[in-house]
């Protein structure tokens, strides 16, 4: 039943059938074992019909490792039309073993090889149906369809992609005749021809081959060759145009797989234009995914690529400021000054900062108008003062001493005690909902969420920023963070490219600011997210400050 295999095949690794590892998918094609299989059946329905002949050939690096051929008793007569097509008769297959007796040998022959067929869904469908009927799991091996590959690679050279037509036009050594082993041999010949053609698309590994049917349909598929030099390691990739200008910067834990996905599974609208303009794809290998994420942010800030959005919006950041005037008020500003004012931020935009200000002004009667009665007397109080929602000096009924408790409450709400705002907003939300004023209640909820989210973001950034020099260990890697910037990743002998991208002065010459600059917020976000994600696995070796906040936990408001 099974022809002798070569010693290399007998020494092949054995795992559970179909359990391909990440390394297998990245295996060069000349090291991949393919099992090309063809079935003859009593009809076209895996549910109602049965297998009557199996033929398979196992190949690697262009060498035949073994063949498998057997008749199978389908447990029924072979229809006349199948006999006319294949030459198989009921008398030929009746002495053969039933499929349940054939499957163990067939599965052992297939092993963990990539499963190949011409219109492979047909053969795999019958094989899976037989496995299910015998209480076995479906075949999970990587699957290669030579019909789909032929449509992408040689469709313009042939009238159709039938196996017989391809064998004739491409002058294959074996010709199909609707018998299982002969068809499998012809399919194996076709596979080798298609692998040679696929090399022109930069296909060098198994996962490249699996992606090719969809990637080759991409209008920019010829540019797949730009990914040839990309490694299967963490790093940053840079799409460049014909002049060398960087169009887009991205990060990946597997550079080759991520960039090649742009030609197949990535359906974002900007990708089409990006690939049309791309003339080169460069990369920077890093020692870890964290270093890749930080390198990406720094390059985006430095180069401002046209197709990047994330990492280029920091210039729109803003702070919410409680001024240091005699009657402090809230103001949205772009930068922090060396004054006695209180700041909350950086926030992602002036619009969000204004939304947070609305939340504070809704909960606390902070001054809203900009008038100075001592210099610009008003004939009437401002509208918020007349409505009684703001304690403004223009109303003439409050002095500086009376206003100070209000300013102190706002100052505390922006720094250490956000409950002064949140509790009042939620009380008002519940009251409005009780009165069935649901739209107004939803607005109160949204203001509370905006205020809580602003505090949550600032706390995360501030925690890492104020930690000073922070050394943490995760697995066999040590990470050094100083003043909210990634400085080094160890093992110490691993090359680090961060210093070449970070143009700042050495850490010893830096003067830590008591606030976070907008340009630093993106990197701090990456670091804070990494620390949060690995909080249960990292070990702190050194910390100048603390990674534990003394402030109370913020409520989870969206659930309300």
**Residue numbers annotated as active site:** 178
The helix/strand/coil state of 28 is strand
The helix/strand/coil state of 474 is strand
Residue 375 CB contacts under 8 Å (≥ 6 apart), including other chains: none
Residue 92 CB contacts under 8 Å (≥ 6 apart), including other chains: 71
Bridge partners of residue 56, in order along the sequence = 37, 68
* Residue 436 parent element (H or E): none
Q: What is the dihedral of CA 242, 245, 248, 249, to 10 degrees?
A: 120
List C-alpha distances in Å: 530 to 241, 301, 523, 525, 558: 32, 20, 11, 8, 24
Q: Are strands 539-543 and 114-117 parallel, antiparallel or unpaired?
A: unpaired
Q: How many CB atoms lie within 10 A of CB 93?
A: 23
- Cα angle 299, 305, 306; round to 5: 165
Give the C-alpha separation, 58 to 188, whole Å: 9
Residue 278 CB contacts under 8 Å (≥ 6 apart), including other chains: 220, 223, 226, 239, 240, 241, 247
């Amino acid at each position: 039943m099974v022809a002798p295999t070569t010693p290399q095949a007998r020494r092949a690794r054995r795992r559970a059938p179909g359990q391909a590892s990440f390394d297998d998918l990245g295996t060069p094609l000349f090291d991949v074992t393919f099992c090309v299989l063809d079935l003859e059946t009593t009809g076209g329905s895996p549910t109602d019909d049965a297998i009557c002949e199996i033929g398979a050939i196992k190949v690697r690096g262009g060498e035949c490792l073994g063949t498998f051929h057997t008749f199978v008793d389908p447990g029924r007569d072979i229809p006349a039309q199948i006999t006319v097509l294949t030459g198989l008769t009921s008398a030929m297959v009746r002495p053969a073993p039933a499929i349940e007796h054939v499957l163990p040998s067939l599965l052992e022959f297939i092993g963990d090889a990539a499963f190949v067929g011409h219109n492979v869904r047909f053969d795999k469908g019958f094989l899976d149906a037989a496995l299910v009927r015998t209480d076995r799991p479906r075949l999970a091996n990587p699957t290669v369809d030579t019909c789909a590959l032929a449509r992408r690679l040689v469709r313009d050279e042939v009238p159709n992609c039938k196996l017989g037509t391809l064998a004739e036009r491409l002058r294959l050594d074996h010709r199909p005749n609707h018998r299982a082993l002969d068809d499998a041999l012809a399919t194996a010949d076709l596979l080798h021809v298609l692998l040679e053609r696929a090399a022109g698309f930069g296909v060098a590994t198994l996962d490249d081959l699996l992606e090719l049917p969809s990637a080759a349909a991409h209008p920019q598929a010829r540019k797949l060759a730009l990914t040839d030099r990309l490694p299967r390691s963490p790093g940053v990739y840079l799409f460049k145009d014909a002049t060398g200008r960087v169009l887009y910067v991205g990060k990946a834990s597997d550079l080759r797989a991520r960039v090649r996905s742009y030609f197949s599974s990535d359906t974002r609208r900007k990708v089409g234009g990006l690939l049309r303009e791309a003339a080169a794809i460069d990369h920077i290998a890093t020692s870890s995914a964290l270093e890749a994420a930080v390198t990406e942010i720094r390059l985006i800030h430095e180069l401002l690529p046209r197709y990047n959005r994330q990492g280029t919006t920091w210039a729109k950041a803003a702070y919410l400021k409680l001024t240091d005037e005699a009657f402090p008020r809230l103001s949205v500003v772009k930068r922090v000054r060396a004054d006695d004012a209180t700041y909350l931020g950086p926030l992602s935009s002036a619009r969000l900062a204004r939304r947070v200000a609305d939340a504070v002004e809704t909960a606390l009667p902070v001054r809203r108008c900009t008038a100075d009665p001592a210099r610009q007397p008003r004939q009437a109080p401002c509208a918020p003062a007349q409505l009684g929602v703001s304690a403004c000096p223009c109303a003439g009924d409050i002095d500086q001493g009376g206003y100070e408790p209000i300013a102190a409450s706002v100052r505390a709400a922006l720094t250490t005690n956000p409950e002064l705002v949140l509790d009042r907003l939620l009380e008002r939300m519940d009251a409005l909902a009780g009165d069935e004023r649901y739209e107004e209640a939803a607005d109160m909820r949204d203001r509370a969420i905006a205020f809580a989210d602003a505090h949550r973001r600032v706390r995360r950034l501030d925690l890492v920023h104020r930690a000073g020099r922070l050394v943490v260990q995760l697995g066999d890697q040590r990470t050094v963070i100083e003043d909210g910037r990634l400085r080094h990743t160890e093992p110490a002998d691993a090359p680090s490219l961060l210093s070449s991208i970070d143009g700042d002065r050495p850490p010893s010459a830096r003067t830590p600011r008591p606030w976070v600059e907008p340009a630093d917020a993106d990197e701090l976000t990456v670091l804070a997210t990494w620390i949060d994600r690995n909080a249960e696995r990292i070990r702190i070796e050194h910390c100048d400050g603390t990674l534990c906040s003394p402030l109370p936990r913020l409520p989870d408001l969206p659930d309300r």
